[in-house]
Every structure is written in structure tokens, then in C-alpha cells.
Structure 1
Amino acid sequence: MAIDVTVLRVFTDEDGKFGNPLGVVDASTVAPGDRQRVATELGYSETIFVDLPEPGTATAHARIFTPATELPFAGHPTVGASWWLRDIGTPVHTLRVPAGVVQVTYDGDMAAVRARAEWAPEFAIHDLSSVDELLAADPNDYPDDVENYLWTWTDRDAGVIRSRMFAPGLGIPEDEATGAAAVRITDYLSRDLTIVQGKGSIIQTQWSPDGWVRVAGRVVNDGTRQID
């Protein structure tokens, strides 16, 4: 039987442009042993498999896969899945992933999650001198298994940065918008940020000194595809 996959773009700009594609799957339709295969065949930077909340509860469970491996936490799938759950009529307060319990909130057309900075993978953070240097960076110069996050200020006073992320070891040569990296860079800089990543995706973050980071963004539903 074909598996229905809802395709979202997470962290779009205000006009619904850009954003990072995400596959969202009802976990009850895919056996656990088939989830990596499905994520690999879909080829998105992540695919999330969601167990819908039980009646009378406000918590869903989810597992996240890149084309190459399972992740204990990632930002763009948890924001996207939270938005999707509200879109299908089952908004949640919490989303449980292997790393821990993610707090979920909704603000108009945006969905947001709060996560611990240590849940995010370690990134090699490269502070570049200009946007020109950032845009000139070649993913082929970062071929190892380290997740590399390149960034530079565009408006330091307003907390706006421009960034790119390369993670070939996860099967992601370049990621359009990376929520986990947004958590790490927000904790690293210890301040709220507006992050413009990739071609123009927008991630909003809020820093808390207790180690929690709120990551928020807009989401667009691009419809459903099927995979065997």
C-alpha cells in the first residue's frame, strides 16, 4: 500500500517563499523498520514520523530521519510537525522526540518549539567576515562528517545574521534551513536572532539563560506525495 507523505516547507519568508522541504508521515502507516528507507527515498533533509496524540491528550510522539540516519532532535521537523498537527485539527502542547520533550506554541501563522541547546548536534561554527564570503563558500570544501555552520552578521544591532549549513555526513550536502543549528548559534551568541539561511529562509529564535531556545517559523503545505 502506498504511503501518504505531506510535504511542507518550513521556515518560509512572509510571502511563503523559500523554506526547507519536510516529509511528514503518520507513523501508524509505516513499520519502524521501514522508516529509514522511506526517508532515504524521499531525499528531504529530514522526514518526521508522527504518532498522533491520544484522545484527550496534547502530546504527540515523533521520530526524525535524514536520508542517512535517525536524529534524536531536529528543529525544522519539530516546527513543521507541530504546525501540521494544528493544521489537521490536533494541536499539541508538547512533542516527544528521543532527545526529550519539546514544548510547542502557536503564534498566528507561526509554530514554535522550545528545545535544549545540548539536544542539537555539535556544529563547527565558522564566523565569516562578510555576506560575499558566505555566499562564495563551496560545500565541496567541507566533505567530512562534521556539520559545518557558516554565518555572518548583516545587522548586529538588530540581531540579524545570514547563514549556510553543510552536512554531507547526514546525507545533506547543503541544508536550506536548519532549526538545530539555529538553536546552537542562538546559544553560542546568547541573544535572540533573526536568521536568514540558504536562499532566503527565515528562522526566528529567542534565547534563555537557562539553556532553552525557542525556534519559530512559518510553514507552507505543498501537498501530498505517495511512496511505496
Structure 2
Amino acid sequence: MIAHDVLHVFCDAEGAHGNALGVVRDGAALPASGDRQAIAAELGFSETVFVDDAERGAIDIYTPSTRLPFAGHPCVGAAWLLGVDGLVTRAGPVAVRRADGLTWIEGRAAWAPGRTLHQYGSAAEVEALPVPPPGAWVYAWAWQDEAIGRVRARGFPGRGDGIDEDEATGAAALVLTDRLGRALEIVQGRGSRIHTRPKGGEVIEIGGRVRRG
């Protein structure tokens, strides 16, 4: 097994929950995309990050079955771990900032294609949903408190690669924020917390807490 760090990204205020992320700091040891894909499948996280240049924040992101140009929780986790002010992804440069215990990154909805948003009438309906069969990437959501921008959500990748439900998905949260045009606090999965803020134009910030292990 290759050496890697395990982080949990988008934890709640007490450090609980969050989506597990694998980070292979020595990406140079596995320069071939096929080798990285095999390691990501072996590790089995919803995403695994390979660090190509720690000082520049250059990263490469994989699910167990495919390579991604951008993903939210890998970028937040990698930014926190590397302590950089920016990342370099296949989608483009990603600005990073830190405030009040949160690590924030910038992204664009165009970097997260293929997410299907399904709105439900209540948080209880979202919580009661069964995992759908493999197919479209579905982000199920409902207002928990519309006045303050709190959303209840669950994410179903639909890839058939062993990840039936994502605990916390920054890219899908970015797409929802773009659709609604307002800042959100998203409660996803068992209790993970994703914070988002439109910055103007097409840029949206995604923020969250990270813990190791």
C-alpha cells in the first residue's frame, strides 16, 4: 500500500463527520495516470489526491473509476494539508483562503458538469431517500431553513464504483449555490457541513473544516 494521508473534509463544528479523502503526497512516485487510477481504486475513497508539486499546490484528482479535473472536498482537503494559498488543478487555478477555522477554495459551476439537482419538499424526505440505482449523479436537497440559507442534502454519484453515497460533495454544493444564487450552509450525509458563497461572476467559494484521520 502506498503511503498516504487520510483526512476528513467538511466536518461539523465539533470535528465530527466529513468526507474521507486520501492524499498521496509523493505523486512523483506514480507519474502514470493508469497507476494513479489503480491506486485510487485500491484505496477506495470517493476521491484520492496525488500531489505533483507541494509548493505550487499542483494536484491530480481521481475517484475509484475516473480522473477529475476538479472536485470540492479534495481541493479543500489538499489546501488545508499543504498550507498553500492556491492550487493548480486540471480545471484551472484555485484560490485558497482561511478564516474562522474554515478553509475556503474558489471554483466555478462549469467545472462540475453532470450533476442533477433534485429538490424535495422537506429535509425528512431527503433523509428517507433510498440509494438510487447507478445512473445520473444526483444531488437531492431541500430547504431546512430557507430564511438563513440552510439546506439538507445527500449526494449519489451513480457511478457503480462502490461509492453509493458521498458524505460531503463540494462540487455539487457549488452547482446548487450557482443555481440558487446565494450563500448556503449545507448539511449533507450524516451531518457534514459545507459552506458556500457566491463571489460575483461565475466564481463561488466553498469552505469547510478539515481534520486528519
Pairs within 5 Å for 1:20-169: 20-26=19-25, 27-32=27-32, 33-54=34-55, 59-86=56-83, 92-139=84-131, 142-169=132-159
Q: Which has the higher contact order (CA 8 A, sep 6+)?
A: 1
1:9 aligned partner: 8
1:217 aligned partner: 208
> Secondary structure of 1:7's partner?
strand
Offset of residue 52 of structure 1: 2.8
> Secondary structure of 1:174's partner?
coil
Q: Distance in 2 between matches of 1:53 and 1:84?
A: 10
- AA of the residue aligned to 2:59: A
Task: Describe the superposition over 1:138-175 as per-residue Cα deviations: whole angstroms up to 9, x where unpaired.
Answer: 11xx2233100000001101000000010121622100
Q: Structure 1: which 5+ residue stretches go unaligned?
A: 87-91, 223-228
- AA of the residue aligned to 2:168: A
Q: Distance in 1 between matches of 2:176 and 2:38?
A: 31
Q: Distance in 2 between matches of 1:101 and 1:35?
A: 21
Task: State the TM-score, normalizing by the size of structure 2.
Answer: 0.94
2:198 aligned partner: 207
Pairs within 5 Å for 1:186-201: 186-201=177-192
Does the 8 Å contact 2:138/2:158 carry over to 1? no
Does the 8 Å contact 2:37/2:67 carry over to 1? yes
Q: CA RMSD in A?
A: 1.3
2:167 aligned partner: 176
Aligned residues: 210
Which ranges of 4 or more aligned residues in structure 1 deviate by more than 6 Å?
none
Offset of residue 53 of structure 1: 3.7
Q: Distance in 2 between matches of 1:170 and 1:72?
A: 20
Task: Describe the superposition over 1:75-122 as per-residue Cα deviations: whole angstroms up to 9, x where unpaired.
Answer: 000000000002xxxxx2221111111111122432110011110122
Task: Describe the superposition over 1:182-207 as per-residue Cα deviations: whole angstroms up to 9, x where unpaired.
Answer: 10000010000000000000000001
Q: Distance in 2 between matches of 1:122 and 1:208?
A: 23
Does the 8 Å contact 1:94/1:102 carry over to 2? yes
Q: Structure 2: which 5+ residue stretches go unaligned?
A: none
Does the 8 Å contact 1:190/1:209 carry over to 2? no
Give 1 or 2: higher strand fraction.
1
